[in-house]
Amino acid sequence: MSNASTSSWSERLKSPLTWHLVGFTILLALAIVLGVRLGLDWAAMNSRSSSVLAGKQVQLKALELETAPLHGIDARVEETREQIQHFERKRIPPNYSSIDERIDELEVASGVRLSRVQYTQRPPGAGLTEISIDTNISGEYTSIMRFVNSVERDPIFFVIRTMSFTGQQGGLVGLRMQLSTWLRPSDAAASGLPTAPEGEEKDQPAAPAAAEKEGE
C-alpha cells in the first residue's frame, strides 16, 4: 500500500499537468500580491494628489485675498488724483498777494487788529510749498473767536499751528497766532518771500528778514 502511494506521487510529480498546476498557482499568487500592492499604491497616490490639490486651492484662495485690495486700484488712483487737483483749484491760493488780501479781509470782518504780520515760506515740498504766517492779534474775546472761526472755515486752506495768550488790557485780549497755508512751488518761488531755515521750529519767531507788515 505504501509502495503504491509512493509510486502514485512519483507519477504525479513527473506529470507535466502537475507542474502546470503548480506554475499556475504560483503565478496566480503573484498576480494577487501585485494587484493588492497596485491597489494600495493607487490609493496612496490618489490621497497624495488630493492633498496636493487641496494645498494648491488654499494657496490660490490666499493669493486672491491678498490681491483683492488691488482690484480697481487704477481707477482709485485716478479718482484720488482728480480729488487732489480739485482741492488745489478750490482751496490753494494762486499767489502770495491773495493770501495777504484775504487775511486783511478777515481782520476787518471780525473786528480784530493784527500787528507784526510776518510771512515766510518753508523749503519746497513734493507738491506744495508751505507759507507760514506769524502775527499778534488784539481785540475783544468775541471778535478774536470770530476771526479764528473765519480762518478755519475760509475757502483758502489755512491751518492754525499755535495760539498763545500774550496779555489783557481792559476788555481787550492779546494773542499770538501762527498759521500756515500753501502755494504751488512756482507761485511760492515768484512770491519773493524769504525761506525759513530748514529745521526751524514752527513755534519760533519768524526770522528778521521775513516779509513783515506792521499793523496800523
CA distances (Å), 68 to each of 78, 81, 203, in order? 18, 21, 44
| Buried/exposed 75-100: b ≥16 CB within 10 Å, e otherwise | eeeeeeeeeeeeeeeeebbeebeebb
Assigned C-alpha cell, 31: 498576480
pTM of the model: 0.60
Give the pLDDT confidence of 7-62 residue by residue, as tens digits.
565 665 556 666 566 666 777 777 776 776 776 666 666 666 666 666 777 777 77
Residue boundaries of the structural domains of the chain: 2-65, 93-213
Residue 104 has pLDDT above 60, yes or no: yes
Give the pLDDT confidence of 52-97 residue by residue, as tens digits.
666 777 777 777 777 776 667 777 777 777 887 888 888 999 999 9
Residue 145 has pLDDT above 80, yes or no: yes
CATH number of 93-213: 3.30.70.60
Mean pLDDT (the chain, rounded): 79
pLDDT score for 13? 53
- With H, G, I as helix, E, B as strand and everything else as coil, classify residue 170: coil
Provide mean pLDDT across the span 99-113. 96
Q: What is the CA radius of gyration of the chain?
A: 46
